[in-house]
Every structure is written in structure tokens, then in C-alpha cells.
A and B are shown apart, each in its own frame.
Chain A
Amino acid sequence: MKNRIDQWITVVAFCAFIGIMSLLYLVLPKQENSELEKRPLEKAPEFSMEALTSGELGSDIETYMSDHIPGRSFFVGLNSYVDLYTGRQVTKDVYLAEGDRLVEAPAKWNQEQVDKNMKMVNRFAETLGKEVDFMIVPSGGWASQDLIQGVSYDYKDETYIGWLYSKAAEGVNCVNVMDVYEGREDLYYRTDHHWTSEGAYKGYAAYMDAKGRAYPAVEDFKVTVAKDFTGSTYTRAGLWMIPGENVEMWECTPNLQVTNENGQPHDGVFYLENLQELDKYTVFLDGNHATVTIHNPNNVGKGNLLVIRDSYSNCLGGFLAESYENVVMVDLRNIMPGMVVSELDAQYDFADVLVCYSLSNFLTDNNLIKLK
């Protein structure tokens, strides 16, 4: 039978594809870390008799190759779009919503963990002997739930937050902010799981209203903008065609003083040098730190605030500092072992104490046990 052109094309194309890919493996320089994935990539496996006979060498080489495959992010993106358009986003941890919005899938409820965490909050109020305010911020997915494309699991933020608030003991005041965020997907980033600066401002305003404290109006803030931010949901979804977005920095009092556990004081709550990094959210208070103190020299005598918090407060902190002399923020995930948070009260004699978490973090975080 005469050989046809399509057969030649098939053979040549296939051999060229696997051949060129394997050549690229050999000649392309290898990266040590993946900036996108924020993890070290597998190092070239070392040959040893033991690794060979145990079969470990084989699996190491496979991991190494998949970490360094040429065109890795292209293939990851391709796969994400295939999964999306064949309806399988329901199984992913990030959903696509209208308006190029990427939101986290609903938080998972683990009764045991949740019971524990609530107990810790209640215990903290008791230890401290002061009233503790408790504010859980609903998820961006819940706020955008009507916009999600295709099949998704249901968001139960109302039920979950309602349940948490119903377990608050005496001395724990719950700050309900559901109304602030319901249907307001614009208060969250499109490509990140955090609230935007406006979202954080609304949370701040709601808290100040609850406390009966004064706070600046929206017009009092000067807003600067950084472009091309792509955050955590973008990285996780792998839908690379989603455009980046703006990060807004809201500033009212320019001379805030920030100190974190590293000691070095910083002028202002914005770490502008971090805008050069892939993760621009770290512009707020330099990302996660164990303890951060924001001092407002214009507010002497207005009392101090303690915040037990997650990364939502990176952005919230700057706002809170507008209404207190000192805002002390503690991230339980990063504190030194053995640190007793309630002992801070002797130094600062806090006027208010706030436990502020995003819902999904509060449901899953297993560090609240350190809250003493």
C-alpha cells in the first residue's frame, strides 16, 4: 500500500513532539523554585545503589521530570480550562464566577475543630476578664454565589456563622457583618480570597459602629492604586486568561508607625517595595507576621486594641489604627511557642479586644489552641 502523506505527518509530528520535549528537558536551565507555586521544585535525583534497588530513583526522576517539564504552566492552564468547560469545576477548590471572578469553593465544616475553636475563644474572654468582640467575615464565594458559573457546591456561610455566634459565651460579643457583604462580590478581590481595601473599610466601619467609636469617612482617604495583581485563587485555578486587577491603598493618617516581631519600625502600613513581588497583597503590613503593633501618634489617649487575627487583618489593621492609639495584632499561626497572649494586657490595658477571622480560616485553623 502506498504511503500517504497523513501517515508521514503522524509519525514525524509524534516523534518530533516527544523528541523535542526530551531535548528541551536536557538543555533548558532548571529553576530551583516555582514562583507561581511558592515551593521549591524537585532537585535532580542523585544516583545511588540504594535508591536504584529500592525503586526510589525511578519515582524521584518522575517527580523531577513533572516539576521541570517544558511549558509547564501552559499545560497546567490547558488542563484547568478543559476541566472547567467539561463541568468539573465542582470538584475544584476555586470556582469561576461571572466577571472573571475566581472564588474559593465553600469552606469545609469539621465539627470537632469548630467546637475546639469556639471553646478557645470563650476561654480567652474568661482568662482575660474582659469583653471580647468576635467578628467572622463571610467568604468571597458566598458573596458571589449567584454569579458562579456551572455546577458548584452550596455556600452555607449564614448557617455556619449563625452556629458559631450561637455558641459564643457570655463576655463574647458577636459582630454581625453578613448584611455588609451579602451580594457585594465587589468587596472581595477577583483573583484572591481576601477582601479588598473597600471591603476591609466596611468591616472596620461596622466594628466601629458596634463600639460607638468615631471613624473617618470614605472621602477622608487618599487612594493610590497598584496594577496587575493576581492572587491566590488565580494561582490555584490555573485559568491564566483571567486578567489581573488593581490593589488599592487607602491612606488617611500618613504617619502611622508599624513594628512587627522583627523589631525594625516602619513608616506607614504599606510596604510598597512588596508591589514588585508576585504576591502584591503583602503590601499590607508586609504579609503575615506573628505580632504587629501599629501606633497612631495622633490618637494618644484613645485606648489600645488587641486583634487576634488572620491575614484579612493585614488590610484591616491600617483602618483600625485610625481609631486607637495602638493596635496590637497577633497571628496565632506564627507566634513563638509558649507566648501567652493575655499577658499583653498588663502592658497595654486594652480598651477593646477583637477576634477577627475569615470564615474558612476559622473553621479550619488548628492554632487557636494557643490562645491563652
Chain B
Amino acid sequence: MLFSSNVFLFAFLPSILLIYYICPRALRNPVLLLWSLVFYGWGEPVYLFLMIGTILLNYVFGLQIHKCQARQKSAKLPLVLGVIANLLILGFFKYAGFFVDQLKAILPFMSGVETPEISLPIGISFYVFQSMSYVIDVYRNDAPVQKNPLTFGTYVTLFPQLIAGPIVRYSDVALQMDHRKENISQFASGVQLFIVGLGKKMLLANPMGSLWDMLRAYEGSPAAWVGILAYTMQIYFDFSGYSDMARGLGRMFGFEFLENFNYPYIASTITDFWRRWHISLSTWFKEYVYIPLGGNRRGLPRQIVNLLVVWALTGFWHGASWNFLLWGLYYAVLLIMEKMFLLKLLKKLPKVIGHVYSIFAFMMGWALFFFEDMSQLGNFFGQLFSFSGSATPALQLILGFLPMILIGIVAATPLLKTLTAKWENAPVVRYGKLALCAVVLMLCVASLVSSSYNPFIYFRF
């Protein structure tokens, strides 16, 4: 189920809120679990089995680790098995097809093997990573073991963050699972955050996405540059909008998830960018891969290797395709260069140069991210740097979308937030926010409804 759907807004959400709040506290986690399973199974009920299997598996490994530690024995074996089991699940459902294809390309005797056609279970990359964080956190004593399988199931399936993150580490919510107190001001800020996220997705990401789709039909530099700018905005508003909705919904049920995006496009370096973009994922890789590999404590050469490993994995996490790997390594190279000399250099230069460099770098990054086909990617870079003109309709399209592009650029910066920060508690700001949220919600519903409005008029012509 998607948040931006009629079913979610006008059936799922009202019913879960109602049932959740009339239930006694002891039943609230099981109710959340049940509803989250419905949420997950809505599109592909088959994968409910996979979900339940993943929950049970990690629950058992958590218990085993706990048991070993209670008896003062090494819990390494259950930990390693647990991590391997999770990686196998992810590997099979996400990467099997890709690897078989690669093997077929290099090993002639494999050519007869059919590539398995496995449709990617929604959210698998997210919930497998969450489950792994649980097993590891319990092993490291960063979080207590969860003995109630229903509560553990609630943590893994929690519908707000189930299918697109943020990746909530168990240690961050362990306490909230059993001891959270819902209250009005948290609920109210949750509603606002949810609406802001919905607005980012429906009112900004979707139009930018359609602009990008339309511009790809045209050649020439203006179409390519505005196109990649539109995609840059689409991917940010889509993803951060989803994270906002998740955090907002979490708050409605008394959960507090960590921030996942912090205005990434105002970053002045790529190091800074990655502290602001998809924070829960970079934190995950830092905590569970980079630091265990030795991080920066074992000398520069080792650090470079560690960075390359982490970023190759980060890239690959985004999808089973070479371009994602390339995209990850591209950032590894930029980050290594920044660590070695670029950061020092940028510090000496005017700040605007850092911004220009960062914007350019992540826009090129998104081009790598978008094109799975290398020849299309090559062609697109050709258009970007050919400095040739685009056809008139492309320019008219750009002109028509100019207001939206400007709104998008402003919305991607903290401008509004900074302007109102001083008077945060003034009634005009508080009620202004409220009114804005009401308008945004109406516009989102309007946009949602309109997508199904298609008058059949052919017979009239």
C-alpha cells in the first residue's frame, strides 16, 4: 500500500487510528502488527510469508545470542549465522537474477541456465537491514533482547517505515516499543509532518518526475540540464517526502524516528551532503560496516579501502545493476578526494564555490543513478555537454514548468524554516502553519483524485 493512495488515507489510516486509540495499551503493539501486515500484504500477499519468516528468524537469533551471553559463552556463532541468513534472504530476492546474468556472460557453460525471475518484495532492503541491526545490537549489548515475538514483529513491520525507511535501528526504538506515551503535541506535529511529506511527494516530486519524463524525449543541452535538475528534485522530494510521512505517522502512534534528510542540497561539500542525505542508511553502513572494518583508525591506505568497500555496498544496496555500483564508487572517489585535499582547498575558497561544486557533483551522481543502460548514460552526458540547443517545444515545456521549478528550489532549502524560526511560537506562525497544512492536504487529495479523472470523449469527435 502507498501512503499517497485513497485506500491508505480514507480507509487504512482512519481505521488503525481509531482501533489503536480505543485499545488498551497492552493490545496496541499487536494491533499495530496486525495492521502493518495488512498494509504489507495489500499489493503482494505472497510475500507475507517471507516477512513472517524474517521476523521469526531474527527473533530466534536474538534469543540465542542472548542465551549464550547469559551463560557467559561466546555468541559469535548465532550472530554470524543470523547475519548470513539475512544476507541470503536479501541476496536471493534482490540479487539472484543479476548474478546469474553476470555468470552467464563470463561462463559459457552457464548460458543454458534460465535467469530466475523474482519480483522484488517491497521494502525488503529496508526490513532486512532493520532486522540485521537488531541481531547485531543485541550481540553488542547496545539494545536489550526482545522476548515478546509480537513486539519484535511490530518493530520489524511497523507500517510507517516498512517500505521506504527510514531504517530504524533497534537500539533507537527499543525503549519506545514497550514504553511510549502518545500525546497531543506529538500527534499534532506528526500530522503536520505527514502532510508536509505527502505534499512533497504529490505536489513537488510527481510534477518534477513528469517533467523529467517529458524532457527525455528531446535532445540538446537545455532539455538535458533542466531534465536532470527536475530528476534531482524529484528524487529528493519523493524520498524525503516518504521519510517525513513515515516519521509523521510514527509520531501519531507515539514513536519518534530519527531524521532521515536534513536539507541535503544545501551541502557545501559531498562529505556534508552524505551527512544530510538518507542519514539512516549512511549511519547503518557506518555502524555495521565501516567502523567494524576499522574505519579511519588503521591508517590512510586502509581507510581508503574501507571507504571503497562501504560505498560499493551502499551503491549496490540501491539496486542490482552496475550503474548503482558505479554511482557508489563515484561517491567513494569524491569522498576520498575530499579527505585527502579537497576539503582543505574548499575551506580556503569562497563558500559559493563549495555549493556549486556539490550541486554539480550530486546532479551528475543522479544521472549515474538513473540510467541503468550504459549507452543511454553515455548519450545523456553527450547531450549535457554538447552545448547544443533544444527544440522549441522543449523550451516551452521548461518555461511552463518554471514556476514549479522555482517553488521546488525554494522548498529544497530551509528558507521558510529560517524565516519563521524567530517567531516559532507566535500565533501567526503557528496558525499559519496549520492553514498551510490544510491547504496542502486538500491539494494532495485533489491531485490524487485527478489522476483517475479521464473523461471518455472519443465518441464525440
Nearest A residue to B203, CB-CB:
A82
Which residues of chain B in 181-210 are interfacial with respect to chain A, using CB atoms and an 8 Å cutoff? 183-185, 187-189, 191-192, 195, 207, 210
With beta carbons under 8 angstroms apart, the residue of B188, B207, B396, B397 that contacts A11 is: B188
Contacts of A39 in B (CB 8 A): 454-456
Q: Mark B195-234, 1 if CB is under 8 A from A, else 0.
A: 1000000000001001000100000000000000000000
> Is B403 a contact partner of A86 (Cβ separation < 8 A)?
yes
Residue B320 CB within 8 A of the other chain = no
Cα of A236 to Cα of B452 in the assembled complex, Å: 12
Residue B461 CB within 8 A of the other chain = yes
Nearest B residue to A56, CB-CB:
B43
With beta carbons under 8 angstroms apart, the residue of B18, B43, B210, B438 that contacts A13 is: B438
> Is A75 a contact partner of B450 (Cβ separation < 8 A)?
yes
Cα of A52 to Cα of B45 in the assembled complex, Å: 7
Which residues of chain A in 21-57 are interfacial with respect to chain B, using CB atoms and an 8 Å cutoff? 21-22, 25, 36-39, 52-53, 55
Contacts of A15 in B (CB 8 A): 14, 17
Residue B44 CB within 8 A of the other chain = yes
Write 13 A-B pairs (CB below 8 A) sorted by A numbering. A7-B187, A8-B188, A10-B188, A11-B191, A22-B11, A36-B455, A58-B43, A61-B7, A63-B452, A66-B451, A151-B400, A193-B461, A288-B459
> Is B191 a contact partner of A22 (Cβ separation < 8 A)?
no
Which of A88-96, A207-215, A320-328 lines the interface with chain B? Answer: A88-96
Which of B104-112, B353-361, B429-437 lines the interface with chain A? Answer: B429-437
Closest chain-B Cβ to A312's Cβ sits at a distance in Å of 9
Residue B399 CB within 8 A of the other chain = yes
Cα of A38 to Cα of B184 in the assembled complex, Å: 46
Cα of A358 to Cα of B460 in the assembled complex, Å: 13
> Is B452 a contact partner of A88 (Cβ separation < 8 A)?
no
With beta carbons under 8 angstroms apart, the residue of B207, B397, B438, B457 that contacts A232 is: B457
> Is A75 a contact partner of B456 (Cβ separation < 8 A)?
no
Q: A58-B43, A76-B449 are in contact. Are A38 and B456 (CB under 8 A)?
A: yes
Contacts of A4 in B (CB 8 A): 185, 430
Q: Mark B406-443, 1 if CB is under 8 A from A, else 0.
A: 01000000000000000000010011001001100111
Contacts of A162 in B (CB 8 A): none
With beta carbons under 8 angstroms apart, the residue of B44, B434, B445 that contacts A75 is: B445
Cα of A82 to Cα of B191 in the assembled complex, Å: 23
Cα of A6 to Cα of B436 in the assembled complex, Å: 13
Cα of A80 to Cα of B446 in the assembled complex, Å: 9
Residue B46 CB within 8 A of the other chain = yes
With beta carbons under 8 angstroms apart, the residue of B214, B431, B449 that contacts A66 is: B449
> Is B455 a contact partner of A88 (Cβ separation < 8 A)?
no
Question: Most chain-B Cβ atoms within 10 A of its Cβ — which of A7, A287, A310?
Answer: A7
Contacts of A3 in B (CB 8 A): 183-185
> Is A38 a contact partner of B457 (Cβ separation < 8 A)?
yes
Residue B289 CB within 8 A of the other chain = no
Nearest B residue to A7, CB-CB:
B188
Residue B341 CB within 8 A of the other chain = no
Contacts of A236 in B (CB 8 A): 455, 457
Interchain residue pairs A-B with the least CB separation, the first 3: A90-B400, A7-B188, A65-B6
Cα of A67 to Cα of B10 in the assembled complex, Å: 13
Residue B301 CB within 8 A of the other chain = no
Contacts of A193 in B (CB 8 A): 461
Contacts of A22 in B (CB 8 A): 10-11, 14-15
Cα of A193 to Cα of B458 in the assembled complex, Å: 12
Residue A311 CB within 8 A of the other chain = yes
Residue A115 CB within 8 A of the other chain = no
> Number of B residues whose C-beta is below 8 Å from A?
65
Q: Mark B320-353, 1 if CB is under 8 A from A, else 0.
A: 0000000000000000000000000000000000
Residue B1 CB within 8 A of the other chain = yes
Q: Mark B4-35, 1 if CB is under 8 A from A, else 0.
A: 01110111011101100000000000000000
Cα of A107 to Cα of B101 in the assembled complex, Å: 44
Q: A37-B454, A39-B456, A311-B461 are in contact. Are A10 and B191 (CB under 8 A)?
A: yes
Which residues of chain B in 355-400 are interfacial with respect to chain A, using CB atoms and an 8 Å cutoff? 392-393, 396-397, 399-400
With beta carbons under 8 angstroms apart, the residue of B43, B401, B441, B449 that contacts A69 is: B449
Contacts of A361 in B (CB 8 A): 461
> Is A232 a contact partner of B460 (Cβ separation < 8 A)?
yes
With beta carbons under 8 angstroms apart, the residue of B10, B17, B431, B443 that contacts A65 is: B10
Contacts of A261 in B (CB 8 A): none
Nearest A residue to B191, CB-CB:
A14
> Is B430 a contact partner of A151 (Cβ separation < 8 A)?
no
Q: A78-B442, A86-B404, A151-B400 are in contact. Are A66 and B452 (CB under 8 A)?
A: yes
> Is A76 a contact partner of B453 (Cβ separation < 8 A)?
yes
Which residues of chain A in 147-198 are interfacial with respect to chain B, using CB atoms and an 8 Å cutoff? 150-154, 193
Residue B80 CB within 8 A of the other chain = no
Nearest B residue to A39, CB-CB:
B456
Which residues of chain A in 323-359 are interfacial with respect to chain B, using CB atoms and an 8 Å cutoff? 358
With beta carbons under 8 angstroms apart, the residue of A17, A37, A62, A87 that contacts B456 is: A37
Residue A279 CB within 8 A of the other chain = yes
Cα of A150 to Cα of B183 in the assembled complex, Å: 48
Contacts of A38 in B (CB 8 A): 455-457, 459
Contacts of B427 in A (CB 8 A): 6
Cα of A11 to Cα of B182 in the assembled complex, Å: 13
> Is A65 a contact partner of B7 (Cβ separation < 8 A)?
yes
Question: Most chain-A Cβ atoms within 10 A of its Cβ — which of B7, B18, B400, B430?
Answer: B400
Cα of A341 to Cα of B401 in the assembled complex, Å: 48
With beta carbons under 8 angstroms apart, the residue of B434, B445, B461 that contacts A9 is: B434
> Is A78 a contact partner of B446 (Cβ separation < 8 A)?
yes
> Is B448 a contact partner of A66 (Cβ separation < 8 A)?
yes
Closest chain-B Cβ to A188's Cβ sits at a distance in Å of 14
> Is B14 a contact partner of A53 (Cβ separation < 8 A)?
no
Contacts of A17 in B (CB 8 A): 441
Contacts of B447 in A (CB 8 A): 79, 82
With beta carbons under 8 angstroms apart, the residue of A10, A80, A235, A288 that contacts B450 is: A80
Residue A238 CB within 8 A of the other chain = yes
Cα of A232 to Cα of B431 in the assembled complex, Å: 41
With beta carbons under 8 angstroms apart, the residue of B402, B451, B461 that contacts A87 is: B402
Residue A72 CB within 8 A of the other chain = yes
> Is B192 a contact partner of A10 (Cβ separation < 8 A)?
yes
Contacts of B461 in A (CB 8 A): 193, 232, 310-311, 358, 361
Cα of A78 to Cα of B404 in the assembled complex, Å: 17
Residue A217 CB within 8 A of the other chain = no
Closest chain-B Cβ to A279's Cβ sits at a distance in Å of 7
Closest chain-B Cβ to A172's Cβ sits at a distance in Å of 23
Contacts of A25 in B (CB 8 A): 10-11
> Is A79 a contact partner of B396 (Cβ separation < 8 A)?
no
Contacts of B455 in A (CB 8 A): 36-39, 232, 235-236
Contacts of B452 in A (CB 8 A): 63, 66-67
Closest chain-A Cβ to B419's Cβ sits at a distance in Å of 19
Closest chain-B Cβ to A260's Cβ sits at a distance in Å of 15
> Is A79 a contact partner of B438 (Cβ separation < 8 A)?
no
With beta carbons under 8 angstroms apart, the residue of B6, B403, B441 that contacts A62 is: B6
Residue A225 CB within 8 A of the other chain = no
Nearest B residue to A64, CB-CB:
B6
> Is B401 a contact partner of A82 (Cβ separation < 8 A)?
no
Contacts of A86 in B (CB 8 A): 403-404, 407
Closest chain-B Cβ to A152's Cβ sits at a distance in Å of 7
Nearest B residue to A236, CB-CB:
B455
Cα of A152 to Cα of B400 in the assembled complex, Å: 8
Cα of A15 to Cα of B393 in the assembled complex, Å: 44
Nearest B residue to A93, CB-CB:
B457
